[in-house]
Amino acid sequence: MFRRLAILAVRTTLFAVVAMVLLLVGCQSRIIYYPRSYNAIEVRTAERSGAQKLELQTSQGKQVAFFFPAKAAEPAKPLGSKLWIVTGGNGSLALDYSYHREAWDPSASFLFFDYPGYGFCQGRPSPENIRETANALKVNLSHRFQLTAERLTAQSAVLGHSIGAAAALIVAEEWGITRAVLLTPFTTLTEMARMTVGTPLCYLNHHRFDNIARLEALQKRGGTAEIFHGTEDEVIPVAMSRELAQRFPSIIKLHIVDGAMHNDILDLAQKDIAEALR
């Protein structure tokens, strides 16, 4: 009897482990990403505010981004003082961040782009597909404004929130950008998975967002980054930003925002974020 119970217990445990592995491998995208679509009111509001819809093609199908020209734009400086490329969190749409732009820097232009599968974009989100979108946007904007790739890069910087911080660093790497502002970044998505499912299951993660590697590349390019992270962040622990700042003390300026949580940091630190952008 005891032997039968032991065998049953082992089989049950193995079944549970296999089921967990299959769930993590097969449903990973659904666990990480929370895509949604735009409604007509959101788009009309953005267009009344000056948004220009950019459409481009990648292997994932049609991708859509929104460009807001700078108020001070002129033929000699079509991007104004700078182009800020903004990437948002895994449950957000690009336009969710657009209302901040005038408070951040009205002299700059802004590009808000969605990940594949979000908003009007076709396909599935992944680091590789975001990288492809970043390259397609560079070609699109170079052609649109008749700027060389080098000049476009020199006038551009990135801003990302949450998983968007990782996406922003991917854009920076692909474009060769040397200026980044990161809100509530993690170290790596694998480390985030370790917090949720533990070791060794965290290594099943195949969406390898790695901010440590991307910041190493930024450092080699002579770039700099400013990081903002709230002390009460309930999603990504502030310890991760502290670790990034400790790893790259020569290029990172860390702002700890007392009392800020994961999403309200955009409002609570808006003045300081604006100063960092300008």
pTM, full prediction: 0.87
Amino acid at position 138, single letter: K
Residue 79 is classified by DSSP as T
pLDDT for the residue numbered 195:
76
| pLDDT tens digits in sequence order for the chain, 278 residues long | 555 544 544 444 433 343 334 334 445 577 788 999 998 888 899 889 889 999 999 999 999 999 999 887 666 678 888 999 999 999 999 999 998 998 999 899 999 999 999 999 999 999 999 999 999 999 999 999 999 999 999 999 999 999 999 999 999 999 999 999 999 999 998 888 787 777 777 657 677 789 999 999 999 999 999 999 999 999 999 999 999 999 999 999 999 999 999 999 999 999 999 999 98
pLDDT for the residue numbered 76:
65
Residue closest to 186 by CA, chosen among 113, 243, 231, 226? 243
Tokens coding 263: 């999403």
Tokens coding 173: 């790497």
Residue closest to 134 by CA, chosen among 164, 161, 113? 113
pLDDT for the residue numbered 15:
37
Write down the residue that tokens 């974020």 correspond to: 273
Q: Radius of gyration (Cα) for the chain, nearest Å?
A: 21
Whole-angstrom CA distances from 243 to 27, 71, 185, 247, 267 are 30, 38, 11, 6, 24
Cα separation, 30 vs 18, whole angstroms: 19
pLDDT for the residue numbered 200:
74
pLDDT for the residue numbered 21:
43
